[in-house]
């Protein structure tokens, strides 16, 4: 992306729009054809709908998939090929009723057979639908949102307006949209006809020079918000779309600072469109790789110090200020303790589980103001007429002051435990790797082995040996209470260098062993020489044939890289390659005559 392109699309003259998304795929784009088909079976469909809603009143949606979208479901094996020409009835039920789906399908199919309609039934939960997005099958979710509704409690409408708005945004800014993500009640499967639809749009601004970033964001916000009314009108729903616009650089800044809102968004959000950015964030968060910096913890803790000034505002504003004053530092300390940032509803429960029950650093009574503040805020969120008395606010403020002071003491306790865990963890990781290389021995023996067999032979440097000895000394000093946070942090950084280099060394050794298990094969296909590879993992062999991966045991099966990787992790070094002769018989049946290349 360059600054001239995005400036032009923001009504700075000079460039034509990309027309890829110039037409929004509405649910009624072939409404004449769909309506004619529905008119023939309207009575039976109404009767079927009545049966389903009476029998299963928890049903969230019933709709007919667009005919033009059905091949996509067939391709993704959501619908069998033989059912492609049938009317596709899509039924959505809450996730809590997931175990009832087999029973639901049986009873509904029995009813369909009674009416002799040519209908294929799918019963899914919102988790199934959003699973398509997590697998980058965005077109399936789009088709579901744009399906012809027979019954909808608000879920389809919310999904539809988000899908249409996404198309409008991509029509205008496709080159710059990094991710379009939905969150809130729609993702939780709780959307109603009047529910707000929360969407987050991340725009790439990394190469913009012709205008200030704040001006860029405001221009984007203005145009994207204008599309909300158009999308709502096209979707024909009451749901209010609530877009949040982020520049990519701002978003990364929030991720770096470990902002709880952003962590919650990444954790719970579902991408309707993603160019390989949001899903890596989500994966890193699930792996625990997105962690707050000490500076970020300081930022969150300082918000509590402003509480006294905030309470001078109106009573409701004061209640909200107290709420954030106790909630945000609580979330910060949960993250500092090593857990992901919780939602505001979960925070009191998780604080109790970690610091009262598990760590025994707090008493349950210490959390009283946090629980009360969250309860007040939740009531305020769902009741616009909610009021709070000055006496209650005064008590909240007093309790909050005590609570925040206790949190500051708690932070010191957590940091001390964190330092202890850091030293113990890096020490344990380093010597576990050394034991994997040299077998289990004493600490001194492992250091001697590392020096003699790796450092003196040039595979590692004297700096690596120095780091190893420093880690051992750091653990001893910490046990004596002589190690400060600065030395702990230096030890952690140096240990990371050594651990990474040790892992690289072990992986190189493993790679050499794996290569010994690989055999190249030459065979004929239509009188042309073709090549394949056979990888032996001990339990079974894998044949790599073009883009295909097949597992060879007693016969041949389709496989994938996930299964191959799983087996390779268990491969142990062998002095010689052994392959069952039955494997070669199966390969001959599959490939015909072949040669083994050495």
Q: What pLDDT is recorded for position 312?
A: 47
Paired strand residues for 277? none
Using a 10 angstrom Cβ sphere, with 0-12 exposed, 13-18 middle and 19 or more buried, the burial of residue 256 is middle
CB 18 within 8 A of CB 175: yes
Instruction: Decide which of 177 and 419 is more confident.
Output: 177
Domain 31-286, CATH number (from 3.40.50.2000, 3.30.460.10, 3.40.50.2300, 3.40.50.920): 3.30.460.10
Mean pLDDT to the nearest integer, 259-286: 85
With a CB cutoff of 8 Å and minimum separation 6, the contacts of 444 are none
- The domain locations on the chain are 31-286, 299-407, 417-512, 517-597
Q: What value does the mean pLDDT of the chain take?
A: 81
- pLDDT of residue 51 exceeding 90, the answer is yes
Looking at residue 10, what is its pLDDT?
A: 47
pLDDT at 237 over 90: no
How far apart CA 57 and CA 405 sit, in angstroms, is 50
330: Cβ contacts below 8 Å, ≥ 6 apart? 347, 351, 370, 407
Confidence band of 27 (pLDDT split at 50, 70, 90) = very low
3-class secondary-structure state, position 170? helix
Of all residues in the chain, the percent with pLDDT exceeding 90 is 23
Q: Is the pLDDT of residue 217 over 50?
A: yes
The residue among 209 and 439 whose pLDDT is bigger is: 439
What is residue 482's predicted lDDT score, i.e. its pLDDT? 66
The predicted model scores a pTM of 0.48
Contact 196, 240 (CB under 8 A): yes
CATH of 299-407, one of 1.20.120.330, 3.20.20.70, 1.20.1260.120, 1.20.120.530: 1.20.120.330
Predicted pLDDT of residue 494: 83
- State yes or no: pLDDT of 594 exceeds 90: no
Please spell the DSSP secondary structure of 31-48, one letter per residue: HHHHHHHHHHHHHHHHHH
* Highest mean pLDDT out of 207-216, 320-329, 508-517: 320-329
What is the phi/psi pair of residue 169, to 5°? -65, -45
- The answer to whether residue 311 scores a pLDDT higher than 50 is no
The DSSP code for 303 is G
In this prediction, residues 501-516 reach a mean pLDDT of 68
596/244 Cα distance (integer angstroms): 59
pLDDT at position 17: 33
How far, in Å, CA of 125 to CA of 91, rounded?
A: 8
Q: Which residues pair with 181 in a beta bridge?
A: 200, 271
For range 163-186, the mean pLDDT: 89
| Distance between CA atoms of residues 327 and 307, nearest Å | 12
CA nearest to 91, candidates 129, 59, 50, 68: 59
Which residues share a beta bridge with 119?
87
Provide the total of helices (H) and of strands (E) in the chain, helices listed first.
Answer: 22, 14
Q: What are phi and psi of 344, to 5 degrees?
A: -65, -30
Show the DSSP H helices in 195-314 as ranges: 213-235, 248-256, 260-268, 278-286, 294-302, 307-310
Is residue 91 over pLDDT 90?
A: yes
How far apart, in whole angstroms, are the C-alpha atoms of residue 374 and residue 35? 49
Mean pLDDT of 246-254: 84
- pLDDT at position 25 is 44
| Closest by CA position to 180, among listed 239, 246, 89, 104 | 246
Q: How confident is the model at residue 101 (pLDDT cuts 50, 70, 90)?
A: very high
Q: Over range 44-52, report the average pLDDT.
A: 89
pLDDT of residue 13: 33
pLDDT-derived band at 318, boundaries 50, 70, 90 = confident
pLDDT digits (tens, 9 = 90+) for 321-379: 898 999 999 999 988 888 888 888 889 999 999 899 988 888 888 899 999 888 888 88
Task: Report in angstroms the alpha-carbon separations of 272 from 127, 205, 278.
Answer: 14, 20, 10
Contact 297, 374 (CB under 8 A): no
């Amino acid at each position: 992306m360059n600054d001239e392109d995005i400036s032009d699309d923001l009504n700075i003259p000079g460039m034509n729009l990309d027309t890829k998304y110039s037409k929004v795929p509405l649910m009624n784009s072939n409404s004449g054809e769909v309506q004619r088909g529905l008119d023939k079976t309207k009575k039976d469909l109404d009767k079927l709908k009545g049966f389903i809603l009476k029998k299963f009143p928890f049903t969230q949606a019933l709709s007919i998939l667009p005919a033009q979208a059905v091949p996509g479901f067939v391709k993704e094996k959501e619908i069998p090929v033989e059912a492609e020409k049938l009317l596709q009835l899509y039924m959505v039920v809450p996730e809590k009723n997931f175990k009832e789906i087999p029973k639901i399908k049986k009873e509904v199919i029995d009813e369909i057979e009674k009416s002799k309609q040519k209908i294929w039934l799918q019963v899914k939960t919102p988790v199934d639908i959003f699973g398509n997005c997590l697998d980058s099958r965005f077109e399936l979710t789009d088709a579901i949102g744009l399906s012809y509704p027979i019954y909808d409690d608000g879920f389809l409408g919310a999904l539809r307006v988000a899908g249409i708005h996404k198309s409008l945004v991509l029509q205008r800014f496709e080159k710059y949209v990094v991710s379009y993500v939905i969150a809130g009640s729609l993702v939780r499967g709780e959307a109603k006809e009047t529910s707000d639809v929360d969407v987050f749009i991340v725009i790439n601004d990394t190469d913009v020079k012709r205008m200030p970033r704040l001006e860029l964001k405001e221009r984007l916000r203005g145009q994207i918000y204008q599309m909300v009314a158009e999308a709502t009108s096209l979707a024909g729903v009451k749901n209010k779309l609530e877009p949040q616009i982020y520049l990519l650089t701002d978003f990364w800044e929030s991720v770096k600072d470990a902002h709880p809102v952003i962590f919650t968004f990444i954790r719970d959000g579902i991408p309707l469109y993603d160019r390989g950015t949001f899903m890596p964030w989500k994966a890193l968060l699930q792996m625990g790789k997105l962690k707050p910096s000490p500076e970020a913890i300081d930022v969150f803790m300082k918000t509590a110090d402003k509480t006294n000034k905030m309470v001078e505002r109106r009573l409701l504003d004061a209640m909200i200020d107290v709420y954030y004053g106790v909630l945000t530092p609580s979330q910060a300390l949960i993250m500092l303790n090593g857990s992901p940032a919780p939602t505001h509803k979960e925070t009191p429960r998780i604080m109790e589980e970690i610091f009262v029950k598990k760590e025994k650093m707090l008493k349950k009574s210490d959390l009283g103001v946090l629980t009360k503040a969250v309860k007040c805020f939740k009531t305020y969120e769902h009741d616009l007429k909610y009021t709070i008395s000055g006496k209650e606010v005064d008590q909240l403020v007093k309790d909050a002051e005590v609570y925040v002071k206790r949190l500051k003491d708690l932070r010191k306790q957590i940091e001390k435990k964190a330092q202890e865990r850091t030293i113990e963890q890096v020490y344990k990781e380093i010597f576990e790797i050394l034991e994997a290389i040299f077998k289990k021995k004493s600490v001194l023996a492992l250091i001697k082995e590392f020096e003699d067999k790796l450092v003196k032979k040039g595979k590692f440097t004297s700096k690596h040996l120095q780091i190893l000895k420093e880690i051992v000394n750091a653990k001893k000093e910490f046990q004596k209470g002589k190690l400060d946070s600065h030395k702990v942090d230096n030890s952690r950084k140096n240990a990371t260098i050594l651990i990474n280099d040790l892992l690289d060394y072990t992986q190189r050794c493993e790679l050499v062993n794996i290569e010994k298990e690989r055999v190249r094969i030459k065979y004929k296909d239509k009188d042309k020489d073709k090549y394949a590879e056979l990888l032996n993992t001990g339990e079974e062999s894998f044949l790599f044939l073009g883009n295909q991966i097949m597992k060879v045991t007693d016969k041949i099966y389709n496989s994938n890289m996930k299964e191959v990787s799983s087996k390779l992790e268990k491969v142990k070094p062998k002095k010689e390659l052994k392959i069952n002769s039955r494997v070669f018989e199966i390969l001959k049946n599959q490939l015909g005559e072949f040669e083994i290349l050495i």
